[in-house]
């Protein structure tokens, strides 16, 4: 058994002129298991969308590996590309921007089928489009209409139908609910969960807010300035975040259960997100971290397994440097 996706020290840098480099993704590693929902969370500008696009080779990688089913997607020959990229699809944050306004819903969903030469028979294709519309909670009467005739939530359903047209195994959902009304968000989440169950899909779910991925994710990686700073199953992450940045993100999320609220250490972020063109030395989070010590400017934190299946990049959890927990430090 191997993970469906293995990301190894992936980097995506952009040249931004005058010899400067924007390190949007600067060495991230994680596995996504078949059938799970893996959340990738961080503030805007942390590199999560760039990571998603680089996983699908929409951007060329700068370094590292992206293995899909054990095969490096950035090394796939043109001959085999269609075969691989049929299995990997993406749903975008702004469904309106990603749907051609001059195409009918039918044309939008048929497009990937054409590219991949599926359902060449016209009747067969039409039936498949109707089936897809029904699967996402729309119906065949919608097929001849245009994107502007739909609400935000319905447009996201069209985007999902298009992503499903090729019967993918793995879907990157890039903030698919961020642009929607709160009341519609839950509907789209429910739809994605149902489709996942019915079709055995694997999701990489990108979000800027931990509250959005809480219920849908099995495991979550928290990104900050091009790095993953913590990775664990969502239950333990919400119960007891380890990394000061995760603690800060969760401090901003109201928790209805007062017992949990009490136990949670509050961390308030100071300052602004530094530029990924000139990231801080050592720990990239140190300019905003209330626990920062000299060592944090001098050395990059190691990727530590703090507990079984829980990973964190912070010196506080390295017994080489600290013998106090962040809670104890918080008291001092
Ligand atoms: Fe804060 Fe230092 Fe941990 Fe970075 S390594 S998160 S600066 S305590
Ligand atoms: Mg984004």
Residue 272 placed within a domain = yes
User: Has residue 267 been placed in a domain?
Assistant: yes
Counting ligands in written order, which one lies closest to the CA of residue 300?
1
Domain-embedded: residue 289? yes
The total of structural domains in the chain comes to 2
Could you tell me if 272 and 147 lie in one domain?
A: no
Classify residue 312 as exposed, middle or buried by CB count within 10 Å of its CB (0-12, 13-18, 19+).
Answer: buried
Residue 234 counted as domain residue:
no
Tokens read off for 79: 């001959």
Residue 286 Cβ contacting ligand 1 at under 6 Å: yes
Residues 74 and 202 in one domain: yes
Same domain (yes/no): 247, 191: no
Residues 183 and 324 in one domain: no
Q: Print the domain residue range for 268.
A: 243-332
* Whether residue 332 has pLDDT greater than 80: no
Asked whether residue 284 falls in the same domain as residue 318, the answer is yes
**Test site for ligand 1: of 228, 271, 284, 293, most ligand atoms within 8 A of the Cβ:** 293
Query: Are 98 and 19 part of one and the same domain?
Result: yes
Are 220 and 284 contained in the same domain? no
pTM above 0.80? yes
User: Complex ipTM, two decimals?
Assistant: 0.94
Model pLDDT for residues 241-295, shown as the tens digit of each residue? 999 999 999 887 665 555 555 555 567 787 888 998 999 999 999 999 999 999 9
195-212 pLDDT tens trace: 999 999 999 999 998 888
* CATH number of the domain enclosing 41: 3.40.50.300
Determine the angle formed by the axes of helices 105-115 and 122-135, rounding to 10 degrees: 120
Residue 74 and residue 97 in contact, taking contact as beta carbons nearer than 8 Å: no
What is the pLDDT, as a whole number, of residue 63? 98
- Measured by CA distance, the residue closest to atom 7 of ligand 1 is 286
pLDDT of residue 78: 82
Residue 252 and residue 208 share a domain = no
Predicted pLDDT of residue 261: 53
Please give the helix or strand (H or E) that residue 22 lies within, else none. strand 21-32
d(CA 169, CA 76): 18
Q: How many CB atoms lie within 10 A of CB 151?
A: 11
Of residues 80, 50, 46, the one with CA closest to residue 64: 50
- pLDDT of the residue at 256: 58
Judgement on whether residues 220 and 260 belong to the same structural domain of the protein: no
What pLDDT, on the 0 to 100 scale, is given for residue 127?
Answer: 96
DSSP strands (E only) in 70-139: 71-72, 88-91
pLDDT(162) > 60: yes
Question: For the chain, what is the total number of helices (H) and then of strands (E)?
Answer: 13, 12
From the number of C-beta atoms within 10 Å of its C-beta (0-12, 13-18, 19+), residue 221 rates as buried
Distance 3 CA to ligand 2 centre (A): 25
Write down which residue in 224, 253, 272 finishes a domain.
224
Please report whether residue 237 resides in a domain.
no
CA atoms within a 13 Å half-sphere pointing along the CA-CB vector of 187: 15
Which residues have CB under 8 Å from 217's CB, separation 6+? 37, 38, 39, 205, 234
Look at residue 44 in the predicted model and tell me its pLDDT: 86
Q: Which carries the bigger pLDDT value, residue 327 or residue 307?
A: 307
Let me know whether 98 and 134 are in one domain.
yes
Record the tokens describing residue 190, joined without a space: 């429910």
Please check whether residues 202 and 304 belong to one and the same domain. no
What would the pLDDT profile of 25-37 be if each residue is shown by its tens digit?
A: 999 999 999 999 9
The answer on 248 and 194 residing in a single domain is no
Among candidate residues 191, 224, 257, the one where a domain is terminated: 224
The answer as to whether 232 is a domain residue is no
Closest by CA to 132, choosing from 112, 152, 146, 148, is 112
């Amino acid at each position: 058994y191997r993970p469906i996706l293995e990301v190894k020290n992936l980097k995506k840098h952009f040249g931004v002129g005058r010899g400067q480099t924007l390190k949007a993704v600067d060495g991230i590693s994680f596995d996504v298991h078949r059938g799970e929902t893996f959340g990738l969370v961080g503030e805007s500008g942390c590199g999560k969308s760039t990571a998603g696009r680089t996983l699908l080779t929409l951007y060329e990688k700068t370094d590292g590996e992206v293995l899909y089913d054990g095969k490096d997607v950035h090394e796939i020959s043109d001959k085999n590309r269609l075969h691989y990229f049929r299995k990997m699809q993406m749903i975008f944050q702004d469904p309106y921007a990603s749907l051609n306004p001059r195409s009918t819903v039918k044309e939008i969903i048929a497009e990937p089928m054409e590219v991949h030469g599926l359902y060449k028979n016209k009747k067969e294709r039409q039936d498949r489009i109707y089936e897809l519309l029904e699967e996402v909670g729309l119906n065949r009467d919608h097929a001849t209409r245009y994107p502007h005739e739909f609400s935000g939530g319905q447009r996201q359903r069209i985007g999902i139908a298009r992503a499903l047209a090729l019967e993918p195994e793995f879907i990157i959902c890039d903030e698919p609910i961020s642009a929607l009304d709160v009341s519609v968000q839950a509907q789209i989440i429910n739809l994605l969960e149902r489709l996942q169950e019915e079709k055995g899909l694997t999701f990489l779910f990108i979000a800027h807010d931990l509250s959005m991925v809480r219920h849908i994710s099995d495991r979550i990686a928290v990104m900050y300035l091009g790095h993953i700073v913590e990775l664990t199953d969502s239950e333990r992450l919400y119960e007891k975040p380890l990394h000061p940045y995760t603690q800060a993100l969760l401090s901003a999320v109201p928790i209805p259960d007062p017992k949990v609220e009490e136990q949670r250490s509050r961390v308030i972020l100071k300052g602004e997100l530094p530029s990924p063109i000139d990231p801080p030395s050592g720990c990239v989070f140190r300019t905003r971290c209330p626990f920062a010590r000299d060592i944090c400017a001098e050395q990059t934190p190691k990727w530590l397994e703090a507990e079984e299946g829980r990973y964190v990049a912070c010196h506080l959890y390295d017994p080489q440097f600290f013998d106090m927990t962040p809670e104890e430090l918080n008291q001092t």
